[in-house]
Amino acid sequence: MIAMPTEGRDRRSLSFLARFVGLLIVFYFLVAWRPINDAVIVPFTAAIASVSGAILNVLGERVTVAGTEIRAPTFAVNIENGCNGIETVLLFGAAVLAFPASAPRRALGFAVGFLSIQTLNLLRVVSLFWVGEHHPAFFSSSHTVVWQSVVVLFGVLLFLAWALWRPAGRPSPVRSTRRKG
């Protein structure tokens, strides 16, 4: 039987939760603040539109991109906050930064997570445009039900995989004491 001291574990869990919530609040206020939104988030979102447009053109769609809008002759989308992957990155980033790990491990985790989430988000934008162009009846449910859920769930699962991953030869940070029973 394995007995685990609950007081220390509870304290670590509450500390993680408090740091996580605090970081989420700070991050969301930062990206909602107009100077940061206008100088960082909008250009980032425009870059997502540009890359998505390039991918769509390679795939044979005839699209143009202006700012955060991707347009074809019969369909157009405007990528807004909430559709640029930033919210999932903030959720993931707050969890990684709140987690008790070394700074290099957190930095690597954040970088890999950011790239992974944005890669999935590009797939999301491209596929949603394609659905909207060729099967418009499915666009709304694909956008709000399927893809929003997939991207957020991906961020959560990515964090769990990162938090549970142990480099070879490194013990788990969870300590247990064995009792003979």
Q: How open is the CA angle 93-142-136, to the nearest 5 degrees?
A: 140
Distances in whole angstroms, Cα of residue 163 to Cα of each of 5, 10, 136, 139: 20, 17, 39, 34
pLDDT for the residue 169: 58
Q: How confident is the model at residue 176 (pLDDT cuts 50, 70, 90)?
A: very low
Contact (CB, 8 A) for 130 and 77: no
> In sequence order, what are the residues at sequence separation of 6 or more whose Cβ sits closer than 8 angstroms to the Cβ of residue 140?
none
Specify the range with the lowest mean pLDDT, choosing from 19-23, 29-33, 144-148, 167-171. Answer: 167-171
Q: How confident is the model at residue 177 (pLDDT cuts 50, 70, 90)?
A: very low
How many residues does this entry show for the chain?
A: 181
Residue 57 CA to chain centroid, in angstroms? Answer: 25
Amino acid identity at 137: A
Amino acid identity at 14: L
Q: Where are the alpha helices (DSSP H) in the chain?
A: 6-32, 34-36, 42-58, 86-98, 103-134, 139-141, 148-164
Q: Which two tokens stand for residue 75?
A: 């369909």
Task: Express each pLDDT in 121-173 by its tens digit.
Answer: 999 999 999 999 999 999 999 999 999 999 999 999 999 999 998 766 565 55
pLDDT at residue 77 is higher than 60: yes
The residues spanned by each domain of the chain are: 2-166
pLDDT for the residue 108: 95
pLDDT for the residue 10: 82
Amino acid identity at 35: P
Query: How many Å apart are CA 5 and CA 27, to the nearest integer?
Result: 33
